[in-house]
Amino acid sequence: MLDKPAPQSAVRASGPLAGFRIVEFAGIGPGPFACMMLADMGAEVITLDRVGAGKNLKGVSTRGRKVVELDLKDKTAVAQVLDLLANADALIEGFRPGVMERLGLGPDVVLARNPKLVYGRMTGWGQQGPLANAAGHDINYISITGALAAIGTKEKPVPPLNLVGDFGGGALYLVVGVLAALLEASRSGKGQVVDTAMCDGAASLMSMFFDLAANGRWVEGRDQNMLDGGAHFYGVYECACGHFISIGSIEPQFYALLRKHAGLSGAEFDAQMDRKAWPALKQKLTEIFKSKTREEWCKIMEGTDICFAPILTMAEAPKHPHMAAREVFVERHGVTQPAPAPRFSRTPSAIRDAVTADLGDVLSAWKARE
């Protein structure tokens, strides 16, 4: 029998990455988020930041680090960094292509000192290509992959926050790539460069939709497909109170429950997958869901196999009974924040505070443990 997953409130344990040493070159967006995940999982993450950066040590995405401020234009500091990297397992940087090379910290130099190092690179466009050196943000990276064109209302695309490019296509692919390279290095004794581009990851996330399109099950344009808001049984509806709920009754048995609990007895609802009928059926459901408050619909549908959930704000989400029971959110230093994920049964992750550190002290400690 598998061990029961440890609750988030469990006594702080080491995490599955305890003993791994990662050097992070401070940046914004996906790099810090990836390092937060690695730190939560037990890795010792040393963040190298510019002098006077004044890193928020109680921030959510900066948690779990030892933060060192230094001037990378100083040759003495760079020499110390190279010594540090000689004792590291992985490096993560998010500069534009060529910046690390100009600092004297490119892959060729670093891997010559430490052949087993995993060199994680995070950019929007990738290390090569016509746009490699251009500025960009999440919205741009998901624009050229086909992702943004498929998200939004019929009238126009709507940015899905910066979840798809920065964090989904960027940070999570960086974490997967670094962990895969660390696993391979443990066998081969050789490190490598992990070129993570947000446009690559966002395109990869679109795999299922390219598959659907190839099989004639996806049409161009928003609000016309089963998963983009076009279907009456998969979407968002406003309630009488002005709040919203979500429905995802795709499978026939789930759709039957939706019909039962929402009172959809009319014969027009029989042809669930008739695209031509979706707009009219969606309008009928719009009127039905506006007849009751969100709280009333929760009492009717929540916990059933309808595939239902209330749409909660960031302030409401931590208070939901399911979120509270699983301790999905925790409070630290007066800040409500997501707990570490995923969960491990034997070596649970834990949130650790960020602290300032001296590079010389860190280097000495790392050498002493060799």
CATH of domain 234-311: 3.30.1540.10
| Inter-residue contact 8 to 339 (CB < 8 Å) | yes
> Comparing C-alpha atoms, which of 100, 76, 97 is closest to residue 25?
100
Among residues 83, 137, 243, 320, the one annotated as catalytic is 137
Among residues 49, 89, 138, 166, the one annotated as catalytic is 166
pLDDT range class, residue 370, cuts 50, 70, 90: low
Q: Where in the chain is the domain with CATH 3.30.1540.10?
A: 234-311
Return d(Cα 279, Cα 224) in angstroms, integer: 9
| Helix H or strand E segment including 343 | none
Return d(Cα 219, Cα 291) in angstroms, integer: 32
Q: How many CA atoms lie within 13 A of 338 on its CB side?
A: 11
Q: Examine the residue annotation and report whether 166 is marked as an active-site residue of this protein.
A: yes
> Comparing C-alpha atoms, which of 358, 355, 360, 356 is closest to residue 80?
360
| Predicted confidence (pLDDT) per residue in 153-202, tens digit | 999 999 999 999 999 999 999 999 999 999 999 999 999 999 999 999 99
| Inter-residue contact 282 to 234 (CB < 8 Å) | no
CATH architecture of 21-205+339-368: 3-Layer(aba) Sandwich (3.40)
Return d(Cα 249, Cα 266) in angstroms, integer: 17
Q: Where in the chain is the domain with CATH 3.40.50.10540?
A: 21-205+339-368
Q: At what angle do helices 30-40 and 172-188 cross, to 10 degrees?
A: 60
| Predicted confidence (pLDDT) per residue in 76-123, tens digit | 999 999 999 999 999 999 999 999 999 999 999 999 999 999 999 999
Q: CA torsion sign, 185 to 348 to 66 to 339? A: positive
DSSP-assigned letter for residue 230 = -
Q: Where are the alpha helices (DSSP H) in 225-277?
A: 252-262
| Predicted confidence (pLDDT) per residue in 260-288, tens digit | 999 999 999 999 999 999 999 999 999 99
Bridge partners (DSSP) of residue 122 are 196
Return d(Cα 340, Cα 175) in angstroms, integer: 14
Q: Examine the residue annotation and report whether 353 is marked as an active-site residue of this protein.
A: no
| Predicted confidence (pLDDT) per residue in 42-84, tens digit | 999 999 999 988 777 888 989 999 999 999 999 999 999 999 9
3-state secondary structure of 330: strand
Predicted TM-score (pTM) of the model is: 0.94
Length of the chain counted residue by residue: 370
Return d(Cα 234, Cα 285) in angstroms, integer: 11
DSSP 273-323: T-GGGHHHHHHHHHHHHTTS-HHHHHHHHTTSTT-EEE---TTTGGGSHHH
3-state secondary structure of 253: helix
| Inter-residue contact 341 to 292 (CB < 8 Å) | no
